[in-house]
Chain A
Amino acid sequence: MTAYAYYPGCSLSGLGRPYDESLRAVFGHLGLALEEIPDWNCCGATSYMSVSEDKAVALAARNLALAGPMRAEVVAPCAACYLVLTKAQHMMHEYPALAARVHKGLRAAGLTYPEHVTVRHPLDILVNAVGLEAITAKVARPLAGYRVAPYYGCQVVRPYGTFDDPLRPQTLDRLMTAIGAHVVDYPLKAHCCGGSLTGTMEEIGVRLNFLLLKEAKARSANVLATVCPLCQYNLETYQAKMRRAFNEDVTLPIVYFTQLLGLAFGLSPVSLGLQRNFVTAEPLPAMA
């Protein structure tokens, strides 16, 4: 059984809970073990980097140091966590003075920075390690009738993503096709949702997310698949505000790609956390 060190990140026990549930269900179904990194800390996200660079890298480095003795590969499903952990690795490599300060901090706590750990996003693992053939072989109920807008957002593919094009990614498209869904051409697939800006500058965030959904609708999508908890939250919970601000209905179910995968595998909607989504079922065909 292949096993990975699992870094859920803060979001996956709160807003991103259905992501955690569906990821565990799907990995379990494929015989992949997720071993949670004991006592992991916050990755620092974008905010920590805005206040202190050294300490932001150290936060990420502590998680890698905890994962080091466990497994060679770390799974980070949240786009921000994935970016921060890989960014920290790049910085440790490129900036020796910074690295020396981080090493010193870790040493004080008896930890060692591991050079050999690889951080991977579950999308990468599912398509490039498990493989589309093995995924297709597990499909019990092809997602016929699902017209999916594959939405990557930014930080999974940029700038440190290793498994796809940073501006025109294809991995999620291929995965959705492999489970029987129809993938719509979605040019905004790697366009930013605004991240935490919807919380601080709501008007700006609502406009960005409105544009994303309007385009998905125009492309006749009936569901949008995300790979990031913040994208999912922004696109889903602001739909009423979008309607009020732009006088146009862009209601669309926003689900995690792992939830769609689980449905195709025939797993129960509840095991995939689908009851926690706001605009779940409506056009999702054949939802029990």
Chain B
Amino acid sequence: MRNGTTHCRYAEDVNPAFPAEIMAKPGGEALRDCIQCGTCSGACPMSVHMDLTPRRVIALTRAGLERDVLASATPWLCASCYECQVRCPREIKVTDVMYALKRRAIEKGMYPKRFPIPVLAKAFYTIVASHGRNSESRLVIELALRTNPLSLLKMAPLGIKLMRTGRMAFRQDRIMVPKELKTILDAMEES
């Protein structure tokens, strides 16, 4: 993974509008209050695996270094455990900020490519938007096909065990009127 400290940054790397845009998102309001104490990074069970710690993501966001932040694996490695959020002495909704960064990275196509987590998010989004419910088996298969098809072979023994214990549903569960969900979601797009 990249190491942010080895790169020089110049004015042209900065998107001056970026900090205000993220602070305008629900949960982003308190970003300006960050005192860079690092409590978030210390609390995070994932930070040892991240290219940028949560504290650095906040610093870079406030500096307007949009590309560094959005191309980072960090928002995607956030498991949404909210430990940083409840521990933050400045009451910053760090987890919600990570969500805002994920959405922004998808919108701008800047998320880390060939990284399985955004692939999973998008596959999940599509399944639920069309059927109203998730299918665990279909989600796993779609993720494997789009990232590492050979992994399906390795997963087979577990799949068989889950089948034997009646914990794998193959049928795509769906709501009775998927159209109703579509009506809601479409109506939200018109403004």
Contact = CB atoms under 8 A, between A and B. Distances in A.
Interface stretch (A122-130, A249-257, A258-266, A272-280): A272-280
B137 interface: yes
A12 B79 CA distance: 21
Given A17-B166, A159-B85, A52 B125 contact: yes
Contact of B177 (A14, A39, A94, A278): A39
Interface of B: 25-26, 45-46, 49, 77, 79-83, 85-87, 95, 99-100, 102-103, 106, 116-118, 120-122, 124-125, 128-129, 132-137, 140, 143, 158, 161-162, 165-169, 173, 175-177, 180-181, 183-188, 191
Interface stretch (A28-36, A137-145, A179-187, A196-204): A196-204
B187 A10 contact: no
Contacts of A134: none
B36 to A, nearest CB: 21
A277 B167 CA distance: 9
A155 B80 contact: yes
Contact of A53 (B26, B134, B177, B180): B26
Contacts of B143: 199-200
Please classify the interface of chain A as helix (H, G, I), strand (E, B), loop, or mixed, using the class held by over half of its residues.
helix
Nearest to B168: A14
B181 A192 contact: no
A200 B73 CA distance: 13
Give the residue among A44, A50, A94 with the most B Cβ atoms within 10 A: A50
A95 B134 CA distance: 27
Contacts of B128: 41-42, 44, 48, 59
A215 interface: no
Interface stretch (A67-75, A106-114, A219-227): A106-114
7 contacts: A47-B125, A58-B188, A105-B188, A106-B184, A194-B79, A200-B120, A201-B49
Interface of A: 10-11, 13-18, 39-42, 44-55, 58-59, 62, 83, 91, 94-95, 98, 101-102, 104-109, 111, 153-155, 158-159, 166-167, 190-192, 194-197, 199-201, 204, 208, 237, 275-278
Contacts of B133: 10, 41-42
A83 B99 CA distance: 15
A278 B168 CA distance: 13
A41 B132 contact: yes
A15 B117 contact: no
Contact of A50 (B85, B118, B158): B118
Contacts of B25: 53
A172 B177 CA distance: 38
Contact of A108 (B77, B137, B158, B187): B187
Given A104-B187, A194-B45, A277 B165 contact: yes
Contacts of A105: 183-185, 187-188
Given A42-B134, A55-B188, A204-B46, A275 B165 contact: yes
B85 A158 contact: yes
A161 B124 CA distance: 25
Contacts of B175: 39-41
A262 B135 CA distance: 28
Contacts of A155: 80-82
Contact of B99 (A41, A49, A166, A167): A49
B106 A51 contact: yes
A53 B140 contact: no
